[in-house]
Structure 1
Amino acid sequence: MHTVYPHLQDGPTCGLAIICMWGDSFMEHSLTLENLLKTSQANCFTKQGEMFSVANMKALCEQVMGSDHVKIEHRTKGFDVDKNFIINEIKTGAIVFVPYDSDYNHDPCLKKGLKAHWALIFGLLEDDHDEVYLLARQGKSNHIGVWKYSELSESNANLKQIDPKRCNNDYVIPAGGIEQILSPEISTAQNVDSSRTSSL
């Protein structure tokens, strides 16, 4: 695992908050929510800080970190199918950015996407029964989450709907709907200078 410093979100900026965590903890970039929000708005990725697209998260990371320093791999098969890949990447220094449904305590849940949220996975634990637990941070708490891999995978795969309160002109909802732009998609990024890896 790596040391990852918390960065709390302001409004619907959970995706931007975990990019700040990544920049501060791994890339030695001092990123602020304010600057990330302005950049993502300038690219028409967001209006209020919401990030409903893995592809847009990837593009934003490459822009603010510099594509010469970051190598990002975008995985589309799903958290379950890519389990071995993701675990091996984390073991070799990767982090993972993953969308999921957030429960009242910020743990993964199954609400069909109505509580869509972003988390940064920065380490893992394995017990004697081959159960994998992921170490996570997200933008609504300073505490580290310890989540079963299977529960986060199920939560990621259940992102099917957008909260009706968000389906208006106040948010940027890319074409294709939440199932196409969030549910099965993961990306991996590598700090080329230090060979540390990160994943979305």
Structure 2
Amino acid sequence: MGTNPPLPPPLPADNAITPLKLYQTQNSLSDYTCPWTTELELREACAKNNICLYKAPHQLKYKNFESIIQVGPTCGIVALSMLLNGEVSPNELLKIAIAEGYSNNGEMFSCQNMVQLVEKVFNLVKKNNASFQLRRGLYSKEIILELLNGATLLVAYDADCNHSPCLRNGHTAHWAIVCGILIIDDPNGNYLSDPNNIYICCRHGKSKYLAMWRLADLDSSNKNLNDINPKKKEDGLLYILPEGGIGGKNGLKDQFVMFKGL
């Protein structure tokens, strides 16, 4: 009478095939990963960051914008074009920004100038149902509730080598749009008690993929925009800087633009 061959030993835990590893190695998602959403990019972003892999978030608000890849130092211009769903191209926005004296090469080192550019462009494309305003204090209950109600943000921050928020004193200043927010667990009204509970969905001009960062990290990065990279002062290009630099009251530090009705 024959005998069955012995079963192979189980794979070590480190080699276990999980939905997340399946995504990381094959760039595909298991049906069991983030089944609470049909938005593929949102699923991928959550899987990549180990967020709500199997359980739906307590609260979620997300609006998809098509990515636009920037050419040259035009991150703010491209982010604004994304917010407008490409109705005004980056090239058209750049021409307006240069004509109005806000930029020479595509740089936008003043949140005040960005607000003025938005006003001119919104009048041009007749965005009568949308509103916008300059705001401060990104990591706050008020802004979290605004995002949950559908607001979108245009925020400058320091970008790390993987484009996530970091603290480099403003030397790698970059612009992104905040197009969603995810609350993992019920905060019981105290949204600020746990920074690991609040994530935001972001897009920017250096990646076609949706990014997901902690809101607290973006806030800290936005608040550390003190000065431009010294190398920019020696690269032969003329940049338009507000009085007091990017860390001044008319710069980028602790400032962002909030949109409603987009």
Q: For 1:150 and 1:142, locate their aligned partners in 2 and report how far apart those are by CA, in whole Å.
A: 23
- Number of the residue aligned with 2:223: 157
Query: How many aligned positions are there?
Result: 185
Pairing 1:107–2:173 present: no
Once the 2 structures are TM-superposed, how far is the Cα of residue 79 of structure 1 from its aligned partner? Answer: 1.8
Alignment deviations for residues 92-130 of structure 1 (CA, whole Å, 9 cap, x no partner)? 111001110001111001111000000100001111274
Once the 2 structures are TM-superposed, how far is the Cα of residue 90 of structure 1 from its aligned partner? Answer: 1.2
Q: Could you tell me which amino acid in structure 1 is paired with residue 155 of structure 2? A: V
Alignment deviations for residues 16-38 of structure 1 (CA, whole Å, 9 cap, x no partner)? 001110111xxxx6211111111
- Number of the residue aligned with 2:244: 176
Q: For 2:186 and 2:228, locate their aligned partners in 1 and report how far apart those are by CA, in whole Å.
A: 36
Listed as ranges, the matches of 1:124-163 within 5 Å are 124-128=181-185, 130=187, 131-163=197-229
Contact 1:98-1:120 within 8 A present in 2 as well: yes
Structure 2 runs not aligned, ≥5 long: 1-61, 188-196
Q: Mark the structure with the bigger radius of gyration.
A: 2
TM-score, normalization: structure 1?
A: 0.87
- Number of the residue aligned with 1:16: 77
> Residue 181 of structure 2: SS of its match in structure 1?
strand
> Whose strand proportion is higher, 1 or 2?
1
TM-score, normalization: structure 2?
A: 0.67
Contact 1:79-1:153 within 8 A present in 2 as well: yes
Q: Could you tell me which amino acid in structure 1 is paired with residue 229 of structure 2? A: D
Q: For 2:174 and 2:71, locate their aligned partners in 1 and report how far apart those are by CA, in whole Å.
A: 13
Runs of 4 or more above 6 Å deviation: none
Where relative contact order (Cα < 8 A, 6+ residues apart) is larger, the structure is 1
Once the 2 structures are TM-superposed, how far is the Cα of residue 51 of structure 1 from its aligned partner? Answer: 0.2
> Residue 97 of structure 1: SS of its match in structure 2?
strand
- Number of the residue aligned with 2:133: 73
Once the 2 structures are TM-superposed, how far is the Cα of residue 71 of structure 1 from its aligned partner? Answer: 1.9
Structure 1 runs not aligned, ≥5 long: 191-195
Alignment deviations for residues 34-55 of structure 1 (CA, whole Å, 9 cap, x no partner)? 1111100000000000000111
- Number of the residue aligned with 1:188: 258
Once the 2 structures are TM-superposed, how far is the Cα of residue 164 of structure 1 from its aligned partner? Answer: 1.1
Q: Could you tell me which amino acid in structure 2 is paired with residue 178 of structure 1? A: I
RMSD: 1.6
- Number of the residue aligned with 1:193: none
